[in-house]
Amino acid sequence: MLLTRFAFSIALCFITTISFCQPNNEKFTGVGIFKIGTDTSILINYASTHVQYIRDCDDYENYDYVKVANMSQLVRLKTNSDPTRQIWDLSLCPDVSEYFLTAYEVAGITIKNIRLKYFKNKLVDFDSDASMEITDALKLKYGQPKLTVTQTTYNCLYKLTGLTKPLIAKTYQEEWVNNTISATSLLWETYDDHCEKQINRSFHYYITNQQLKQCEDSYRVKSENNTKKQQIKNLKDF
């Protein structure tokens, strides 16, 4: 059998949006104890009785290990003070604190790998792995979401033969909106180097907060300017 290597090129991409939302009196504000606007004391109180380890993240290189470790942990993430480092998009705003919770169970459903962002001690962003159980629970409680399907056609190239194989990858975004609060269940398809389809899922909800955006933008610009000044200073003898 001839061994080959693969490469991809995007040939076509289009988006389809299907709106079939059903009226529902209950509006989404969050999951379980993690409602938008709740403070960090709720998280800490929960962790004190449900989590094996509570610690600060001293080494970002160990972050992936924490995600797969077979133990429950709550990790407080350090504030990112260096805009030149892309550390999981950590906020530069000093009023933001971020945590990573390995798992949380509510109504018999386990949510894994949760990233929590608090602004001025209030929850503004929740991001985690997703599952069919989470999506089904959202539909049952809040009604049918707005569905957006994005389809991308790739050409999988067999480099040794020059032959290509068309592959289609789809992204399914289901969204529930409550004024400035948005919740999204996302499923997207990718292909590995052997043209094998991979399925990925995520669950995310947040509140649009202009004060947070202004703070993050302001400190990002300030930090980048300080970094540039230091770089110029280091070149004084150049």
Dihedral, CA atoms, 17, 175, 216, 86, nearest 10 degrees? -80
Does this model's pTM top 0.75? My answer is yes
pLDDT of residue 129: 94
pLDDT digits (tens, 9 = 90+) for 1-56: 444 444 545 455 555 555 555 556 689 999 999 999 999 999 999 999 998 888 88
Between 200 and 58, the higher pLDDT residue: 200
Question: Span 136-143, mean pLDDT?
Answer: 95
213 has pLDDT over 80: yes
pLDDT digits (tens, 9 = 90+) for 52-91: 888 887 555 555 555 555 668 898 887 665 555 545 567 7
Reported as a pLDDT band with limits 50, 70 and 90, residue 159 is low
pLDDT of residue 26: 83
d(CA 27, CA 29): 6
DSSP string, the chain: -----EEEEEEEEEEEEEE-PPP-SS---EETTEETT-BHHHHHHHHHHH-SEEEE---GGGHHHHHHSSS-EEEEEPP---TTS-STT----TTEEEEEEEEEEETTEEEEEEEEEEETTEEEEEEE---HHHHHHHHHHH---EEEEEEEEEEEEETTT--EEEEEEEEEEEEEEETTEEEEEEEEEEE-TTS-EEEEEEEEEEE--HHHHHHHHHHHHHHHHHHHHHHHHHTTT-
Q: Which of 11-20, 206-215, 219-228 has the lowest mean pLDDT?
A: 11-20
pLDDT of residue 39: 95
